[in-house]
Chain A
Amino acid sequence: MNEHEHDRDPELISLEMTLNRLAEAERCAPDADFEQRLHRAVHEQVLTPAPISLESARHAVWWKDPINLAAAASVVLVGAVAVLFWRAGSPMGPTTLHSPGSVVLDVTPAQEVEQFIETVAWLQEAVPDLDALVEQAESIGSSDEALWDELEQTFSVTEESI
């Protein structure tokens, strides 16, 4: 089969020759090390792939790996939940969590009044000697007044002596 039906057209033949020269110029464009660079790429990436270098290992930060990132997020989440449970059970911590997800037991006004009466009754039983306490407080106040009188007298005497 004749592949060159335009062989008889001298202008097209001339154009083909120019195209061939252009193609030759493109093929000659790379430097003498071009083949070596290609061979090195094939050798390093396919024939003997190098083990992971220290340099690349150093640059491979753990948080760029989605698996590591997911594991870290899980640990943080579990830790946060554990701390919340611990604080909820601790005597130092709050007993109620005021968050949208928490459950607060409702107390009716009647129950509140009943609790108040019980508290007052407990106070009356546990601290029965309230009158004695009042007397002691009053005596502290009177002793203070006597002390101020004494001080005033001392100052006036001192002033006179000066």
Chain B
Amino acid sequence: MGQDRGQDTFPAEGLTALLERAASGEDSAWSELIQIYGRRVFALARSRLRSHDAAEEVTQSVFVSIARKLTAGEYEESGRFEAWLFRVAMNRIRDEIRRRRRSMIDSNAHLPEPSHLPSPGSTDPEDFAPLRRALEELSDADREIIELRHHGQLSFRQIAAMTGEPVGTLLARHHRALRKLKGLLEKSQRENEWSLRDERA
């Protein structure tokens, strides 16, 4: 805690050199980029979409998209690669959420709350269900900053570069989002205690 994230993941040769190799279509460079960022993008997508398959599909689409742009020379490295990568990822995730909402409206279906669905192949050492439910109750902006920070492992400076908002604003929002999350968790805990008490009575 306390250190800026993202920086410790840079390869020894430097991100710029790695991106140059990737832009020239070098397979091993793409392997490295995927190794560094693949699971971070996946975790962000999975937290938001609550579906393993959809998260992997989105992650693949993100990497294919940035590979196209990099090899076509449409990205110019200026030290903001992570911000760019996660911006592409967030856009894909938002597209997927919109697509799901549309299909729900089209089919007039009422899907169950994602948080109540069992996590496929879950090997959670601890039960994260209350935390996941609480995250889903946050506003989009609050949830986004928490997920970018913790699931995407981005620093506040990288999030600022990505969203175009001042670091101070983001820090305050993160702090506020954590407080709301804490409040939601406490509320959920209280409700659970009451229901247990009712059952016993």
Please determine whether B131 and A22 come into contact, CB atoms closer than 8 angstroms: yes
Question: Is B151 part of the binding interface, using a Cβ–Cβ cutoff of 8 Å?
Answer: yes
Name B69's closest neighbour in chain A (CB-CB).
A46
Docked-complex contact B60 and A3, CB < 8 angstroms: no
Interchain CB contact (< 8 A) of B46 among A17, A26, A47 = A26
CB pair A12 B38 closer than 8 Å: no
Asked, given contacts A23-B47, A38-B38, whether A45 binds B64 with beta carbons under 8 Å apart, the answer is yes
Whether B64 contacts A19 by the Cβ 8 Å rule is: no
B187 at the interface (CB under 8 A from A): no
A3-B156, A39-B31 known; A22 and B40 CB under 8 Å? no
Please report the C-alpha to C-alpha distance between residue A94 and residue B39 in the assembled complex, in whole angstroms.
Answer: 76
Q: Are B1 and A15 in contact (CB under 8 A)?
A: no
Question: Which B residues lie within 8 Å of A12 (CB)?
Answer: 175, 178-179, 182
Q: How large is the interface on B (under 10, 10 to 19, 20 to 34, 35 or more residues)?
A: 35 or more
B interface secondary structure, majority? helix
Chain A residues within 8 Å of B167, by CB? 1, 3
B142 to chain A, nearest CB (A): 13
A159 at the interface (CB under 8 A from B): no
Q: Chain A at the B interface: mostly helix, strand, loop or mixed?
A: helix
Complex contacts, B132 vs chain A, CB 8 Å: 22
Q: Is the CB of B68 within 8 A of A4?
A: no
Cβ–Cβ < 8 Å partners of A47 in chain B = 25, 27, 30, 67, 71
Contact of A26 among B38, B47, B67, B125 (CB under 8 A): B47
Contact assessment for A29 and B34 in the assembled complex, using a CB-CB cutoff below 8 Å:
no
CB distance from B114 to the nearest CB of A (A): 14
Instruction: Assess the B34–A42 pair: CB atoms within 8 A.
Output: yes
Q: Which of these, B63, B68, B175, contacts A5 with CB under 8 Å?
A: B175
CA A27 to CA B47, docked complex, whole Å: 10
Interface residues of A, Cβ cutoff 8 Å to B: 1, 3-7, 11-13, 15-23, 25-30, 34-35, 37-39, 41-43, 45-47
7 contacts between A and B (CB under 8 A): A3-B155, A5-B171, A19-B146, A34-B42, A35-B35, A38-B63, A41-B60
